[in-house]
Each structure stands twice: as C-alpha cells, then as structure tokens.
Amino acid sequence: MTSLRLELFKVVHQKRTYIGLLGLLAVPLIVVAAGALEAPRPQDPGEPAFVAHVSQNGLLVMLSALTALAAFLLPIVAAMGGASSVAREAETGTLKTWLSRPVSRTGVLLTKWTIAVLYALAGAALVAVVSLVAGVAAFGLHPLVTLSGTTIGAPQALALIGVAYLLVVAGAVCSLSIAFFISTLTDSSLTAATIAIAFFTVLTILNAFSVFDFVKPYTYSSYRLVFVDLFREPIYWSPIRRALLDYGVTTGVLLLAAWAVFSRKDILT
C-alpha cells in the first residue's frame, strides 16, 4: 500500500497527468454545444438514438459523451497511461533506482498497472460528472426512453449509465494493458503508446468489414459499444457477458506476459 500511495502521489503531481484529462473534459462540452446549436434532424441509420436526440434530455449528454469515449478517446488516453507506467520510468532512470531497493518486481508491476487503471477510471468519471452537470443545466433531467421504446426513471437511468461507463473503462483497460506490456519490452513510452493505439485502430478497422466477422468474438474492440445493450428492455445480458469475458482474458494474458518479461528483465545494469 505504501508503494501505491507513493506512486499515486507522484502521478497527481505530474503536469502531464492532466493533459489527457483536459482533452476528455472537452467532450461533454462539445456535445452540449452541438445539441444546443444543431437544428432537429432525422436519426441517421446506425446512429444511436441518444446521439440524435441529445437536446431532449441531459442524461443523453452522458450517453453521447460515452459513445465518443468508447469509440476512440478513452482507449487512446488509457494507452498513454499504460505506456508511461514502466517505459517512462526506464527513460528517466527512476525505475533503476526503485528496483535497486529490496522491493518485489511483481509488486512494482501491479502498482504501476493499478495506477494506470485508476487514471483511466478518473478520466471516465470526470466526463460523467461534467456531462451530467452540463447536460442537466442545458437540457434538464427527464425520464429516459430506452432503445426498446420503454421509459425508465432518472434514478434507474443514472444507475445504468454508471454501469455503462464502467463497461467502457473495462474495454479501455485492454488497450492500457497492451501498452503496459509493450512498455516492459522498450524504454520508449512513445513507442509503447503508438503500438497500442495502432493495434486498437487495426482491430477497429477489421471489425468494420463483414469478411472478418469470424474474429469479432475474440477482439475486445468489437465490444466497444456493447454498453448500449443496457438500454434495452429487457437488457441484453449475453453480449455484455461475452464482452466482460473477452476483456478479462485479454487483460489477464497481457498482464501475465508483462510479468514474464519484467521479472526477468535486466534493468539494473
């Protein structure tokens, strides 16, 4: 716990920590501005209903912002956090100093991964809170119409939206874990982040073509919008369970791979 507190203290006092958070902060403000300025229009094919009707309910701002997060923003920010966990420490030489002490490499690795996950969670929470405040201030707080056409009260809708944000964070942790694993192989945090983001982008492109449908059940990126199934009546739990299983397996394999590399890596010479 001491190492976790020290690492958290260090992250909180680094200016670069807030760069990604500020970028995420712009998302709900852009959504509110777009909803206020855009004239009513028909829903585009394939567009979630809560994006087309964002100006009708402040809760829809939260869901529209979440769509942007899930599609690309949060995986990118998470990858940046995961990449800097080990590689940046190696770049600056602080990792060598830390490991010269009697500490467990497994403990160091888990601490850094946990801090990176907390960073992604903090980013999502920031967007959720700002979306709620700005959305309710601009468009009010009303019962939410689900994708099945039924209506649920605002408290229940807020609970489901909270679960939706956690689902998106779980998916982003996969990109984070890819960058985290790569960061144990290289001393360049930029290289680790670039590879993780490129990998996510390639998977997203593959998911867009039906010819590659056979790989979709095994790629975490194909579940990035699975949170919308929470807003059906009844809730479609099957794809959500598959997504969580995929996220868990992907993250677990990457963490084991990172541990296998880091525990044997010659850092002190």
Residue 49 confidence (pLDDT): 63
Q: Considering its fold, how many domains does the chain have in total?
A: 1
Query: Is 268 inside any structural domain?
Result: no
Q: Is 188 a member of any domain?
A: yes
What lies within 8 Å, CB to CB, of 115 at 6+ separation is 4, 7, 8, 11, 85
First to last CA, the chain: 28
Cα–Cα distance measured from residue 256 to residue 269, given in angstroms and rounded to the nearest whole number: 24
Whether the upstream peptide bond of residue 234 has omega within 30° of 0, thus cis, is yes
Question: What does the block give as tokens for 69?
Answer: 């997060």
- At residue 108, the pLDDT reads 81
In terms of residue numbers, what domain contains 221?
2-262
pLDDT at position 189 is 84
Q: Is residue 14 part of a domain?
A: yes
**Model pLDDT, residue 40:** 59
Evaluate whether residue 231 is within a structural domain: yes
Looking at the domain assignment, is residue 70 inside a domain?
yes
Asked if the structure places residue 267 within a domain, the reply is no
> Does residue 141 fall inside a structural domain?
yes
Condensed to tens digits (0 to 9), the pLDDT of residues 39-85 reads 655 656 555 666 667 878 899 999 999 998 998 899 999 998 888 87
Alpha helices (H) in the chain, listed in sequence order: 2-12, 17-37, 49-52, 58-68, 74-92, 94-99, 105-139, 154-183, 189-207, 237-262
Confirm whether 269 is domain-assigned.
Answer: no
What residue ranges of the chain have pLDDT lower than 50?
269
